[in-house]
Structure 1
Amino acid sequence: MKRSQADQPNRDQGRKVISLRMDAGFFFERAVRSLDRYRYDKALKYFRLAVEKEPNNPVNQCNLAGILSEMGRFEESNEVLERILQEVDPHLHECYFYMANNCANVDDFEKAEELCLRYLEEDPAGEFAEEAEEMLDMLAYELGRQPRRPKAQPRNASLRKHEEARDCLEAGHFLRATRILEELVEEAPDFLAARNNLALAHYYTGELDRAVDTIREVLEKDPQNLHALCNWAVLCQHQGETKQRDQLVGVLKKWAPFHLEHTMKLATTMGVLGEHHEAYRLFRQLLKLDPEPDSSLFHYAAAAAFNIGEWNQARKHWRMARDLDPESEVPRFYLNQLAETEGSLQRWPSVSYHYQLPFEEQLLQLDRQQQRAIPDQIKQNPLIRSSFFWALNHGDRETKLQVLQVFEWIRDGEVEEVLRGFLMKEEEDDDLKRVALYVLREIGASAPYHARLGGREVMIQPTQLAQEMPKWLQTWRQVLDCCLKRMAGEYDRTQMNDAEIIWAEFLRQHHSNLPAIRKMEGWAAALEYVVAKLHGLSLTLEKAAGKHGVSSSTVGRHVRVLEEACRVYRNQSHFS
């Protein structure tokens, strides 16, 4: 439900008295305060007074219906909702859906079914269309018959397509979801839920301008669309539009959602926007209202509590998340972080509301994996995939390089599509594009490759690929190939994999200022030596040098440079 605008107390400077305007906004604010304290009786009283002040305001009427429903007074709630449709706003079709919920709560399943059908017939692409379809299935089960469907069904195909797109978003297949949703909004221009999800798809892939355009299209059709307002506020924050962001936050803080899904959307948005006190209030409300809260909801509440300094509450919520989801690393990671925080005077950054490990921790864990054996859950986790896509669009050069390396490991069709799009972006660094070309070849993408290099569009065949590789990447391949060739037959797969990771870490540290590599065998010998030392193998400096046909002094000089990369890897792995 939407909150109405409340005027602030007015100070009359001449008379030096404070004049309170007892309007609908004043009573609304009192009602919300009472709700926050779970004083439903007082909240009901103030909502009634707000309705008396503005009887033609449907928002006030819906708030009144909502509190009556919360108190279990379902018949009275429906009387208010019927009055809205008859006397205030006959086009507020979601009232039929709210009434259906109330009827279901008193086991009047026949009436609930009729109201669900009426809602879908009046607004087949409405905000609660999917929930109404699910309710019809549930009601049919209760009534012991096949589900009924609305008479007007031109949008059913659209709903199925929308569900497919949502499944793609949840699976992390953002580009496929984008294509489906673009087709859908062209077929059904008034399907605002599809437009909102299209904006999210653009956002997840880092296409911020397209996301903003899509949100504006939604708000042109429905200026009070909560999902669009929330999405717009988040985008404004990412783009540094502080004034617009603050205006939207002010609007969003005056909403009292009727539906749990809306409360969750508003709570997570407040968290992302840094409005942690408001987020914590809403998450606590959800924990009380949801009969079976899942582990992610406890994580959201814990994150909000941590971010406002309520560490005891944060610990309590993360422990609940851990107990509900013992297989997840997320609650354990943050409980450890909390323990470190409490023992330190250092100011710690805010905790993310995503139910996943921080992006930097994800990269560290991926580096510890065998490169060809990343667990499927890492490949398919939509939040992780989204963070990779986002970082490739908006990260610094170092982060983009790391993401490109990760893409070589994930190697699926959507990664290929992202890389091909990356090659055509004028604003991206040519050296990074050459790394993307290498990754495309490594994951088996079919040639030719189209790219914008040196300010012009080129088509690159496999035979031309070597000359397009950046010098440091060519060196990486030559040194590593030389080292692995000499290690073959004497080292196991894990040890050879460590050689790859240590060399990649060395290049990550030095790729902007690589030392001259005049003889690759010297570096190959040094790399083999540090790997042998890491695993406690009996390889001396002299033996490594002789094996590669170089002097031991050359190998020793390179070993000193490589040892820093080896130290970083050792600290990140099971050798620490």
Structure 2
Amino acid sequence: ALCYYYMGSFGDAMETVEEVLKDDPFNVHALCNLAVFYYHLNHPDLKEMVEVLRKLAPFRMEQTYKLATTLGILEDHKGAYLLFKKLIAHSGYGDIHMLHYGAVAAYNSGLLTEAEALWKRVKRLDPTGVVAPYYLEQIERKEAGKPCAKGVSYHYQLMEDEKVFTIEEWKEELVKDPLIRSSFLWALRYGDRDTKIQVIRAFEVIPDKEFEEALRLLLLNPAEDDELKQQVIDVLKNMGAEGPFASIFQHREQMLGFDDAEKWQKVLHCLKNKMQNRYDHQVIEEARLFWLEFIDKAYPGIPNIRKVEAWAASVEYLLLKRSKLSVTREAVSKLYGISITTLDRNCKVIRETFEKEL
């Protein structure tokens, strides 16, 4: 639903949320999303939805974060501040963005002392940044009765000529919506794998330095799997980011370029397309892992991948042989449109890489 909303497809967004609430009427994320959609559409039931949200008391931190960002969108900054304060206490004081969100909510609520304390923490964590100093100056100006920013943006970045966008301006440029942005960034860090894939693909159509930085950080996270990182490389390429990229790939620190990851990923896509109507999910997953294991064992001497179909065919053939399933070289070669000679040559390379395991 967020992806639909982010792309301006409000009808699809509303329909998706309503489907979720039919199955789970108390889903915090769906209720928050519905309130945001109501807000931007000036829906007559908005006031009622806000009252529902104010009564929620989520126990999970990701739900609390969702509720906090939503209240910020709805301009209930005092409610947002109380929740951000809870999140900061839970996660510690090392998250620059969370501290900034709390400071913004406090500032917009008139809690200048609290906002100042949080932005001072941001300044210590990001001493070369310009965001915290700018807003600390705004507090000084406000306390001195001088002209200052009236409504502060949650987005951790100053706009051109240090102008803070109003809510109306954020409506006109949804792709820069600071709180929806924060939801995406949170999902990239803490969501499940399927959610992360959706967020990564959403970033592809919204070129942005903050999103690019988040994707680069994911490449260095040893907890993320290699296939997900290959998708990140693909998206970074389409965003126009400059490579190669520092990455923990195949359990090693290395610089990863576009061509390598793209070709490895294409082999997986080819395997899936050819096998999905002939084998169950378990066999296809074994083929995926088999290919990634080969890349891992062959590194750094990974052979040049000229013809994707040839390597996909070799993986399928060797996997089926290892699993003692019925398969012939002729059938696999015909299916992938390659010669038996090419199949044999690539199978030999893979066998040598695995040594006596195949």
Scaled to the shorter chain, the TM-score interval is: 0.3 to 0.5
Higher radius of gyration, 1 or 2: 1
Whose RCO is larger (CA < 8 A, sep 6+)?
Answer: 2
